[in-house]
Amino acid sequence: MRIYSLLLATVLLAGCSTGGVAAPDEISFVGGSGNSTFIKIEDRKDAPIISGEVLDGTIKTLATNKVTVINVWASWCAPCRAEAPLLQEFSINYPEVQFAGILTRDNISSAKVFYENFKLTYPTFIDDGLLIGFRGSLIPNAIPTTLIIDKNNKVAVRISGEVTVAAFRDLLDKVLAQA
């Protein structure tokens, strides 16, 4: 009985940690704090080619010669819901920038409802295996994570957690000014 109580206490305490939140399907994730990492031009690593099926069932390949914003999200993620309108607005206000999402740890039907509810117009890739291509660079390390890739297809910025208007605008403008 004592071992059972100790095990139960350990599980409950672990569930209270601030490092993550349980999803409805019991899969945990690391929640970011909105911290950003900006890489100097000379230290940037190549981004992978982002290509594959998107939520509408078509196949899409992102251009590699444009500044690109990639948002890693899931429909059950509260910070993802909070930042979706902001990212959609930026995608409209910055037509020279390519925006895309990568769905992770989610199901397609929930993601489609999220996509429609937030009236997102940029594509979302449904294969989170694409994230492996960022190994050796700034890999997405939380849900949500937003990456800014420069016009030379190099990873310039990673924001771990929910983006904010001012910080995101500053980082995006900085990468665009380098273009």
Q: Provide the CATH number for the domain around residue 122.
A: 3.40.30.10
Asked whether residue 1 is domain-assigned, the answer is: no
Residue 76 has pLDDT above 90, yes or no: yes
Backbone angles phi, psi at 64, to 5 degrees: -105, 5
The more confident residue out of 113 and 17 is: 113
- Per DSSP, the three-state class of 110 is helix
Region label for 56, one of left (φ > 0), alpha (ψ between -120 and 50) or beta (otherwise): alpha
- In this prediction, residues 72-94 reach a mean pLDDT of 97
> What's the confidence (pLDDT) of residue 10?
32
**CA–CA distance from 128 to each of 15, 65, 86 (Å)?**
25, 22, 22
> What's the confidence (pLDDT) of residue 33?
56
Q: pLDDT for 105-138, tens place per residue?
A: 999 999 999 999 999 999 999 999 999 999 988 8
**Number of structural domains found in the chain:** 1
CA–CA separation, 58 vs 25, rounded Å? 27
Could you list the residue range(s) of the whole structural domain that residue 59 is in? 19-178
- In this prediction, residues 71-89 reach a mean pLDDT of 97
User: Which amino acid appears at position 136 of this protein?
Assistant: G
- In this prediction, residues 7-17 reach a mean pLDDT of 30
pTM greater than 0.75: yes
Asked whether residue 6 is domain-assigned, the answer is: no
